[in-house]
Structure 1
Amino acid sequence: MMNTKADALYQFLVEHATDFTDDWLKRQQINTGSDYSADAPPEVMNKVKEQNSHYVRLVAKSLFQTEDEMKETISAWTSQTAADRIKSHTQLTEVAWNSGVFRRVYWEYIQKFVKQTDLEITLEDVFMWEKKLNYTLDYVLETFIISFMEIMMNRLSSQASLIRELSAPVIIITKNVGLFPLIGEIDTTRARGLMESTLTQCIQAGINTLVLDLSGVVMVDTMVAHQIFKLMDALKLLGIQSIMTGIRPEVAQTAVQLGLDFSGIMTAGDLQHIIKKLLLN
């Protein structure tokens, strides 16, 4: 009898998925630019309606699924939906608010079912549905947030890498010579990123000589110097000659005080002079 009641509830929810979505949409506020906005463009609204109606059916399906089956079904849906919401710049706070709205409407429809069905619904039935459905709804929000944040963090990481690369361009002077101007404050994290980016750019450009210009650097500590040494060692292994130029007096003084040894590195005092010399060779 329990399965008969669950079957009847499932059929009711599936058959009323479109009505459910209409009621859910009526509670949306105007937040221009959001997928959930009451004034969203028709094509956006239609897609949201389709997704929400499908969502209603997926949650209802969990009445008959094992926990593992439900999680597999829901995870696939939330991964795709999270990607769609990020693409449309929907805020996570809006998603959380709508999750609460969805849950309230869902239980209103269960209440409608209980009132109109000829089946005898007991408290045991309701509590069993509550356990199943609320667990599913909680899992939806949990996996949505995980997917949403994972996509956002990957995007931020990619953007940060691009910014680091753009802030450390290897300028191609000739077919064989490149210039790498280091500018601003360089901490350990940035120094590591600069090394990776520089090596990649040198290989792609096919240069055999790289001039590192430090005239825009105001401070060098032992960790940063270590990264610069590693960069020059890596360039040497790749068959690329490196020349350091533009070391400011205060940087040179700090280097001496810290005991940094630049004796094994080819240096030049003037960028213009070394570039001219390389061009003439």
Structure 2
Amino acid sequence: MDQKTEALYQFLVDHAANFTEDWLKRQKIKTGSDYSADAPSDVMKKVKEQNSNYVRLVAKSLLQTEDEMKGTISAWTSQTAADRIKSKTELTEVAWNSGVFRRVYWEYIQKFVKQTDLAITLDDVFTWEKKLNYTLDYVFETFIIVFMDILMGRLASQASLIKELSAPVITLTKEIGLLPLIGEIDTTRAKNLMESTLTQSIEARINTLILDLSGVVMVDTMVAHQIFKLMDALKLLGVQTIVTGIRPEVAQTSVQLGIDFANIKTEGNLQSVIKKMIQR
């Protein structure tokens, strides 16, 4: 092991806590941020621990092979990225702090060069530069990958939840379900509506589905086509469909567009269809 590299490693490890304090002095005040200079004490304590550990991990890369470094860094970035997502830290803020960390790191290397009795050459400095900057770049790269993977995973989960909520089949009785549609129905929502309704109807084991359109302000040929397809698919599953709540303006538009609801079982409003079913 190179004596000078070993000495630099030990210097950085020994000064990790001081490094973190110098790094923190450059933080701005930003409400709600883990990096904020006025962050709560428990948050600040955790950030200090993470940053000091980060200093040591980067220093350790001086003594590691590339594969060893990547294994060590990947484990650290996975946990840290999850923490930053949890605290709603923006990626732009992470990027800014990555730059601050790098500048402070090289300032400490400069301190080491000035303080050591070892004969540090320009070649030594450039060797360290190559290894340390590669490590720091890898940290940022893997952090972004993990950060975005977690973020996109959450967005996908939220999108799935929104999709389900946008077409909820409400069970009124063991055999009757209600699908209230609200707002505009575009091509994407219509497709999701078909998939979600069929799945929910099968799971609920209903034989009648009330399709309430009172919250739909516009029906065009595409929407009508999707509704007809949905009812045809439900029929194949043994589920009868009753359409209710068609607004006057929707009915007028349907007539103008030539949309034929003649073969569809309809009721004026939800209250009337429920009343009839209770009477049965």
Give the TM-score normalised by the residue count of structure 1. 0.87
| Alpha-carbon distance in 2 for matches of 1:166, 1:231 | 18
- Alignment-derived partner of residue 246 in structure 1: 245
Q: Which amino acid aligns with 2:268?
A: D
- Alignment-derived partner of residue 190 in structure 2: 191
* Shift in CA distance, 237/127, structure 1 to aligned 2, threshold 3 Å: farther
Following TM superposition, by how much is the alpha carbon of 1:222 offset from its aligned partner in structure 2, in angstroms?
4.3
- Maintained 8 Å contact 2:242/2:267: no
| Alpha-carbon distance in 2 for matches of 1:121, 1:159 | 55
Following TM superposition, by how much is the alpha carbon of 1:249 offset from its aligned partner in structure 2, in angstroms?
5.5
Following TM superposition, by how much is the alpha carbon of 1:187 offset from its aligned partner in structure 2, in angstroms?
0.4
* Shift in CA distance, 73/259, structure 1 to aligned 2, threshold 3 Å: farther
1:270 aligns to 2:268 (yes or no): yes
| Alpha-carbon distance in 2 for matches of 1:236, 1:68 | 59
Moved more, 230-239 or 44-53: 230-239
**What is the number of residues matched between the two proteins?**
279
Following TM superposition, by how much is the alpha carbon of 1:248 offset from its aligned partner in structure 2, in angstroms?
4.3
Following TM superposition, by how much is the alpha carbon of 1:111 offset from its aligned partner in structure 2, in angstroms?
0.8
* Shift in CA distance, 165/42, structure 1 to aligned 2, threshold 3 Å: same
- Alignment-derived partner of residue 211 in structure 2: 212
Following TM superposition, by how much is the alpha carbon of 1:247 offset from its aligned partner in structure 2, in angstroms?
3.6
Following TM superposition, by how much is the alpha carbon of 1:154 offset from its aligned partner in structure 2, in angstroms?
2.1
Q: Which amino acid aligns with 1:86?
A: I
| Alpha-carbon distance in 2 for matches of 1:36, 1:105 | 16
| Alpha-carbon distance in 2 for matches of 1:145, 1:259 | 53
| Alpha-carbon distance in 1 for matches of 2:21, 2:12 | 13
Moved more, 171-180 or 232-241: 232-241
SS in 1 for 2:156: helix
Percent same amino acid at aligned positions?
A: 79
Following TM superposition, by how much is the alpha carbon of 1:174 offset from its aligned partner in structure 2, in angstroms?
2.1
* Shift in CA distance, 23/213, structure 1 to aligned 2, threshold 3 Å: same
Following TM superposition, by how much is the alpha carbon of 1:91 offset from its aligned partner in structure 2, in angstroms?
2.0
* Shift in CA distance, 106/181, structure 1 to aligned 2, threshold 3 Å: same
Moved more, 65-74 or 80-89: 65-74
| Alpha-carbon distance in 2 for matches of 1:128, 1:11 | 17
* Shift in CA distance, 114/226, structure 1 to aligned 2, threshold 3 Å: farther
| Alpha-carbon distance in 2 for matches of 1:255, 1:141 | 56
1:182 aligns to 2:181 (yes or no): yes
1:136 aligns to 2:129 (yes or no): no
Following TM superposition, by how much is the alpha carbon of 1:134 offset from its aligned partner in structure 2, in angstroms?
1.0
- Alignment-derived partner of residue 146 in structure 1: 145
Structure 1: stretches of 5+ with no match in the other structure: none
- Alignment-derived partner of residue 114 in structure 1: 113
